Amino acid sequence: MDQELAASLMQYHGELASELEAILQFWMQHCVDERKGGFIGKLGHDNTIDPEAPKGAVLNCRILRTFAAAARQSGNHAYRSIADRAFAYLDRHFVDPEFGGVYWTVTADGKPLDTKKQIYALAFAVYAFSEYYKLTGEDRARQLAIGQYRAIEQYSFDAQYGGYLEALDRKWQPLADLRLSEKDANEKKSMNTHLHVLEGYTNLYRVWPDAGLRKQIIALIRIFLDHIMHPQTHHLVLFFSEQWQSRSSAVSFGHDIEAAWLVQEAAETVGEEALLAEVRHRCLLVADAAALGLDGDGGLWYEKNGAHWVREKHWWPQAEAMVGFFNAWQESGHIVHLQRSLAVWAFVKAHILDREKGEWAWGVRQDYSLMDSEDKAGLWKCPYHNGRACLELMQRIGKIDHLNHQHY
């Protein structure tokens, strides 16, 4: 490795370490709900708190996962205390003690609000509880993760066609509206839910290497290879019927590049060599497809549908692009992928970081105006994508042999 490249990687590592600390300090300072417990449900772009906003399962699971991972990686006791708080709140207020699973939302006071069982949320509960177990060794956390996994398998798994149905009501009965959010299609199966079930299951397998779980991870990887990754365009298909017929034509560049490293990570974790070789090849094709969404300023556009482009650059696709293109560089050795990762980070520093009030803005429009009507923290805006990008990249850079003599 030449000195210039080594210096770039060391600088990247240092900047990410500083940014991770800034992100986590923001959440500790602004998002702990001292009045009602847990964490606030909504914080505006200008850091204005909505004290009565509902609290979401996805937000709380993502806080738990982020702070547990950061505490484990850094040994920071303040991060551990936030992870403890998140775990206790999820266990007490979101886990359904009667029917299993987790509620989609609770009130600001922590009472059940939207009690549907959105499988996406259960997947994040598996992910978060597994991460907390890795930090603490508390058996309650592992048992909760296993319980969520078993609920998904019992009620959502499609034994006939494979994969998982999107949502059920509190008692696990069918729902008419399966959508994750208003902008989604009301279809039985989605790429997004399957990606995060795979992510959660992979994390659980690290602490509970169960044979049945391994089988389901391999089946999920095959679903990505056979149905979700388009064989010609290599973009991800976003929505499906129960029988895996495509129900969408839109391209989500952020999901493309996120899947390009998460699916590979899953294959590496279960260790099926033939499957892993296929996954590595396909994931590089997906990363190249995602690169079609890169703008000349380094940022990644949100999505397109046919000739129509959504000319916005949201915070989370940038975070996933930083990791996904770095992974593609590590896999292929092609420096263009590393350059893409670094260029996205440069874009984030220039346009997404809120240097005045902290954290990352939701995004910018084509003219670089801020999307300042959107949340700084909320049901979807969490420290998950950007916090994870920092943690993941710091870990990867730290493991590069040529840099191991350096002290971070």
pLDDT tens, the chain, 408 aa long: 788 999 999 999 999 999 999 999 999 999 999 999 999 999 999 999 999 999 999 999 999 999 999 999 999 999 999 999 999 999 999 999 999 999 999 999 999 999 999 999 999 999 999 999 999 999 999 999 999 999 999 999 999 999 999 999 999 999 998 887 888 888 999 999 999 999 999 999 999 999 999 999 999 999 999 999 999 999 999 999 999 999 999 999 999 999 999 999 999 999 989 999 999 999 999 999 999 999 999 999 999 999 999 999 999 999 999 999 999 999 999 999 999 999 999 999 999 999 999 999 999 999 999 999 999 999 999 999 999 999 999 999 999 966 655 443
The answer to whether residue 134 sits within a structural domain is yes
Q: Residue 408's pLDDT is what?
A: 37
Cα 2 to chain centroid distance, Å, stands at 33
The answer to whether residue 129 sits within a structural domain is yes
Q: Residue 407's pLDDT is what?
A: 42
Whether 353 and 344 have beta carbons less than 8 Å apart is answered as no
Q: Residue 205's pLDDT is what?
A: 98
Q: Residue 402's pLDDT is what?
A: 63
The answer to whether residue 296 sits within a structural domain is yes
The answer to whether residue 408 sits within a structural domain is no
Structural domain containing residue 19: 3-403
Number of domains in the chain: 1
List the alpha helices (DSSP H) in 137-186: 139-155
The answer to whether residue 32 sits within a structural domain is yes
CATH code (residue 398): 1.50.10.10
DSSP-assigned letters across all residues of 362-392:
SEEETT--B-TTSEEESSS--SHHHHHHHHH
Whether 331 and 284 have beta carbons less than 8 Å apart is answered as yes
Strand extents, DSSP E, 51-206: 55-56, 105-106, 117-118, 167-168, 189-190
The answer to whether residue 123 sits within a structural domain is yes
CA-to-CA distance for 325 and 107, rounded, in angstroms? Answer: 39
CA-to-CA distance for 89 and 271, rounded, in angstroms? Answer: 35
CA-to-CA distance for 207 and 193, rounded, in angstroms? Answer: 22
| CA separation, residue 59 to residues 41, 121, 263, 305, 332 (Å) | 8, 9, 23, 28, 34
pTM for this entry: 0.96
Task: List residues bridging with 245 in a β-sheet.
Answer: none
Beta-carbon contacts of 48 under 8 Å, excluding residues fewer than 6 positions away, are none
| CA separation, residue 268 to residues 126, 218, 262, 323 (Å) | 19, 11, 10, 16
CA-to-CA distance for 138 and 88, rounded, in angstroms? Answer: 12
* Both tokens assigned to 336: 């263009």
Q: Residue 334's pLDDT is what?
A: 97
The answer to whether residue 386 sits within a structural domain is yes
